[in-house]
Structure 1
């Protein structure tokens, strides 16, 4: 089995290289996932944090009544996102920050929903990042994850493992398992998997809703 480890340095280098062309490559491919994430987040509440905002491809899809904060590890990606916000007049975007998902610089219980669109497989310590997302989430809120999430079974699982080194070069992972997120929720005990939704193309990408259980 291929073992591919991400690092902050690796991701910064990858996205510095990809920032100028990222929109052209991924806008159409990820559109359904992006729209789904934005819609589900807005249904939860008004105050939304997007982790891994990248060049801001999801930002136009949030309803205008939302208040969206975005973070990304890459200064080059954030620069592109700020250009997009200014050019399109996206007034619902409150602020964009260069920040590490492992150490969110926000107060506890600051957001109704936290979105991670196509970034969870790239984070060196996903569980630690999810813990941070949980910390800044209001009671009863949701963490919404979109990604290429495999199940590790059969032919698809074998293909995911085989191509893992290749996609790592472009900043992606093909071998991240849904079970890893499910296990995180089980270990914590205060989150439940509310939904796993298949999106374009043909369910290759998935959106998973993690709902916080409100204290009795």
Structure 2
């Protein structure tokens, strides 16, 4: 498989989130190198409801060619309908190794490719996919707006761009906790205080369909038409 990484400018993340907690490619790779071996155990359960909700929507949408951005260890791959053609990308070699093992072990013939690639600067041609879905990725990349721009480029007109992600509260105890954790973003590998306007423009926010995932509403499923 091709192994392409386009290097990211750390200043992009710094400008958006502040230098104290900015993520860059090196810190992301380091975090997910540490998490790869225990990711399924630590995060698989808490994120499963949101993941399955996103995959269920993908399965119900028209179009066959699906890009999963940040495929990770491949937890979602067995749940896609077999008439979909899934391409997964991730920046982490360790995560991709787990995803490829899962694909072989479970005979997931609908998985077309699992590629090491930067989600903000892929090597795919314009309009290559009917659907692009990013699960728990928007708060990880150095420049979320660049991620969205790239997903727009890759999805055919009339297709769908989906996100399942944690978005910060705007008040209350969770607001306080998320902002208290924010300085640890580099160590965690994600932004606890990530807000919708960190990725979506005002125009996007007026058009998106957003649904909180029950029971706790920690994750939100967002649909945006290409």
Normalised by the length of structure 1, the TM-score is: 0.89
Offset at residue 182 of structure 1 (A): 3.2
SS of corresponding position for 2:161: strand
Offset at residue 104 of structure 1 (A): 1.1
Q: Which runs of 5+ in 2 are unaligned?
A: 1-16
In structure 2, how many angstroms separate the alpha carbons of the residues matched to 1:139 and 1:100? 23
SS of corresponding position for 1:83: helix
Q: Render the CA deviation track for 1:28-56: whole Å, top value 9, x for unaligned.
A: 11111111111112222211000100000
**Counterpart of 2:212?**
198
Equivalences for 1:101-180 in 2 at 5 Å?
A: 101-166=119-184, 168-180=186-198
User: Judging changes above 3 Å, is the alpha-carbon distance between structure 1 residues 41 and 100 closer, same or farther for their aligned structure 2 residues?
Assistant: same
- Answer whether contact 2:74 2:102 (CA < 8 A) is retained: yes
SS of corresponding position for 1:40: helix
Offset at residue 184 of structure 1 (A): 6.5
- Answer whether contact 1:151 1:179 (CA < 8 A) is retained: no
In structure 2, how many angstroms separate the alpha carbons of the residues matched to 1:5 and 1:185? 26
SS of corresponding position for 1:182: coil
| Greater displacement, 9-18 / 147-156 | 147-156
CA RMSD, 1 decimal: 2.0
Normalised by the length of structure 2, the TM-score is: 0.86
Offset at residue 134 of structure 1 (A): 0.4
**Counterpart of 1:12?**
29
Structure 2 residue 221 is matched with structure 1 residue 207: yes
Offset at residue 111 of structure 1 (A): 0.6
In structure 2, how many angstroms separate the alpha carbons of the residues matched to 1:99 and 1:120? 15
Q: Render the CA deviation track for 1:83-134: whole Å, top value 9, x for unaligned.
A: 0000011111100000001111111111111011001101001111111110
Count residues with an aligned counterpart. Answer: 208
Structure 2 residue 57 is matched with structure 1 residue 57: no
In structure 1, how many angstroms separate the alpha carbons of the residues matched to 2:47 and 2:38? 14
